[in-house]
Amino acid sequence: MKFKVGDRVKYLDEIGEGIVKKIYGDLVIVEDSLGFELPMKENKLLLIAAANNTTENKDKKTEHSEKGQNKNTQIRTDKSTKHFKEGIYLTINPQNPDIPIASPHSVYLVNFTSFDIYFLLHKIKLGSLEIEHGFLEKYSAIKVDNIKIEDLPNESSYVLQSSIVSDDKIFLPFINQLAIKKNILLKEDNYCENPFFDKKSVPILIRLVNEFIEYKSNKNEKVDQDINTKKSKDRLITDKGIIDKHLKSPDIAEVDLHIEKLVNNPQNISSDMALTVQLSYFKQCLESAIDRGIQKVVFIHGVGAGILKSEMYKILKNYPDLYYGDAPIRQYGIGATEVYIKPIKT
């Protein structure tokens, strides 16, 4: 079935639905109710309601940025350079490598992995928020910004939301906050050889490929356990999971969703962006807890205007195997929700 921009579609292999925002051949970008744009294969979607307009959607890739000017650039794939593992990087490239500290710079987002990636980059600047988005093919780079050292504040912030596109695996979307510090561009020693470009640049690691979290929906598969493990899990996961660092006991986890616990410079993030970061982390922890077979997770969200709690409850309603409600007031006050995960019957 061919979809059109504006169609409402339902996911076949998981809970949820959304609106078709863009189409890249057989890859459909779907915006869910939280505003996240997720890449889905065409054959994994079911049409619920056709778009109001009847304009035929052309079967071609859309532009890779809101300005429509940036294109993917193939990067070197020789991996002989030391200290560079496969992952996603931000690189700052001087336009004049002979005098890097006095040159204007181009900022590139680099996909140094064997996966294609759909990305949404928020460039946080004084008095403004710019957004760049696009489809970044494997082992390629895309220019996302131009900067001048003399115009930079001491630190320039970016927030990257990424979705991994794979034919045979499903990965959880992730969000990273990163920063370009002015002082690193003023030291020539920070400009180094790298496997991405022929000229020296300043690379900043965002996320390694082995940190991508794979989602498994088959409840009948089991994880290999050591002989001393008390019991095996009912779902297959490929790493320890993001929930592990929040464990208070083998079966109970506690996750603090206050924005200052999730990002380094919360004062630079708008309230809308903070909510996006919090909900994304909430969903990742929830999915990880389900995969790990954790019995109970307490999410500390605070009181505020109640928006975060309300949006969390909308997400939780989509999970039939959960019980949830207010956490004990004596222990957490009135700003926490506890989620009980039903054990899977064997």
From-to residues of CATH 2.60.40.1600 in the chain: 73-211
Given this structure, which CATH class describes domain 8-49? mainly beta
Tens digits of per-residue pLDDT, 91-108?
999 988 888 887 889 999
> In 85-154, where do the E strands start and end?
87-94, 105-112, 116-125, 128-136, 140-147
Interatomic CA distance for residues 296 and 61, integer angstroms: 43
From-to residues of CATH 3.30.1370.110 in the chain: 216-341
Supply the CATH classification number for the domain 216-341.
3.30.1370.110
Residue 311, SS3 per DSSP? helix
pLDDT at 282: 92
Please measure the distance between the N-terminal and C-terminal CA atoms of the chain and give it in whole angstroms. 37
pLDDT at 246: 92
pLDDT at 93: 92
Q: Is 117 exposed, middle or buried (0-12, 13-18, 19+ CB in 10 A)?
A: buried
pLDDT at 255: 95
pLDDT at 111: 93
Name which of 108, 106, 115, 110 is nearest 140 in CA terms. Answer: 110
Other CB atoms within 10 A of residue 312 CB: 21
Half-sphere exposure of 105 (CA within 13 A, CB side): 27
Ranges in the chain, pLDDT < 70: 1, 34-36, 53-71, 74-83, 126-127, 216-240, 344-346
From-to residues of CATH 2.30.30 in the chain: 8-49
Which residue in this structure is represented by tokens 């001491």?
154
Tens digits of per-residue pLDDT, 221-240?
333 333 333 332 333 333 34
The listed CATH number (2.60.40.1120, 2.60.40.1600, 3.90.1150.10, 3.40.190.10) that belongs to domain 73-211: 2.60.40.1600
Adjacent-strand bridge partners of 157: 124, 179
pLDDT at 296: 94
Q: Is 138 exposed, middle or buried (0-12, 13-18, 19+ CB in 10 A)?
A: middle
